[in-house]
Amino acid sequence: MNPNSEAIIEVDHLVRRFGDRAVLDQISFNVHRGETLVIMGGSGCGKSTLLRHMIGSMKPTTGSVKLFGEEITGMAEREIERVRLRFGMLFQSGALLASLTVGENVALPLFQHTKKSPDEIEQIVKQKLEIVGLTGFEDLKPDEISGGMKKRVGLARALALDPELLFSDEPTSGLDPIMTAVVDELTLNLTKGTHMTAVVVSHDMTSAFRIATRMIMLGHGSIVAQGTPDEIRNSSNPEVQQFIHGRADGPIPLNVSQEEHKDHQHVRPRPFLGARFRFHHKHP
Ligand SMILES: Nc1ncnc2c1ncn2[C@@H]1O[C@H](COP(=O)(O)OP(=O)(O)O)[C@@H](O)[C@H]1O
Ligand SMILES: [Mg+2]
């Protein structure tokens, strides 16, 4: 890590409790200009919660978050709004407004936060949709396009204000491998050769290794490991190896959160899964 490079995000001893459970417990790390940091970890381990603290939509129990050198944890909503103009956010769900067209969704931040004319905005919308490969889709509604296209529209909208920093929460979840590669390629194109910094939450390891310049693995409220993709790949930490190879057996505790409780597949023993798979395979 170049010690001279500017820290754009500084997370310092961040603690977040829900009730008496610390979902984030003394988390500290920096993100430097030009990096693509991937935050990984099992579902329910606190990745989205961490991201929400980094964009100022949640306040920590204790600890601090600085964006562009400014402490955001004590800021009033109006002040945070000003900082938000400098970064884009691609939410897990895509979060497109169903009543607006694709073009209107991308135009929204421009109407809300700039004084640009409708003609100028139309040009910018065209340009952002071109970046994500959706030229000509302006007039469709979100429910008329595929999941992969929705994510790309979300990305175009996140880029509308030319942010220097981009946050994305599981940008490839629910996408097939080809569409995942397309979205990864877009992220790479945006960050390579520019000074854009990206923080991407992902539990897709193929995708994570494709885009990351640095990785952080979260688990039981703490940072389990961090380093370059090579350092993570070669880590001797058994938790890291279990996670990146997707093994059921290993040191990672099967902590069934309330969220996962609904999804009983998480706790099904493996032989049963195997039997089910073979059954479905023979009789599709
Ligand atoms: N607003 C909230 N109130 C209470 N518990 C929450 C809230 N948000 C998240 N949690 C809990 O915090 C844990 C981490 O959630 P989350 O950050 O969404 O995990 P991830 O994104 O890694 O899947 C989960 O157990 C979740 O149920
Ligand atoms: Mg999440």
pLDDT digits (tens, 9 = 90+) for 174-201: 888 888 888 898 888 888 877 799 999 9
Bridge partners for 71 per DSSP: 66
Superfamily name and number for 1-86+168-179+192-253 = P-loop containing nucleotide triphosphate hydrolases (3.40.50.300)
Q: Is 49 in the pocket of ligand 1 (CB under 6 A)?
A: yes
Q: Is 44 in the pocket of ligand 1 (CB under 6 A)?
A: yes
pTM for the model: 0.85
Which pLDDT belongs to residue 147? 86
Q: Is beta strand 197-201 parallel, antiparallel or unpaired with respect to 165-169?
A: parallel
Which pLDDT belongs to residue 281? 36
DSSP 207-263: HHHHH-SEEEEEETTEEEEEE-HHHHHT---HHHHHHHTT-SSSSS-----HHHHT-
* Cα(49) to centroid(ligand 1), Å: 6
Which pLDDT belongs to residue 63? 97
Query: Could you tell me the sign of the dihedral formed by the alpha carbons of 81, 87, 92, 98, in that order?
Result: positive
* Cα(206) to centroid(ligand 1), Å: 24
Which pLDDT belongs to residue 255? 59
Q: Is 46 in the pocket of ligand 1 (CB under 6 A)?
A: yes
Say how far apart CA 126 and CA 44 lie, in whole Å.
Answer: 37
* Cα(162) to centroid(ligand 1), Å: 30
Q: Is 258 in the pocket of ligand 1 (CB under 6 A)?
A: yes
* Residues of the chain with confidence (pLDDT) below 70: 1-4, 93-94, 254-284
For the CA of 259, the nearest ligand: 1
Domain map (residue ranges) of the chain: 1-86+168-179+192-253, 257-284
Q: Give the mutation target among 259, 260, 261 for probing the ligand 1 site: most ligand atoms within 8 A of CB.
A: 259
Which pLDDT belongs to residue 192? 84
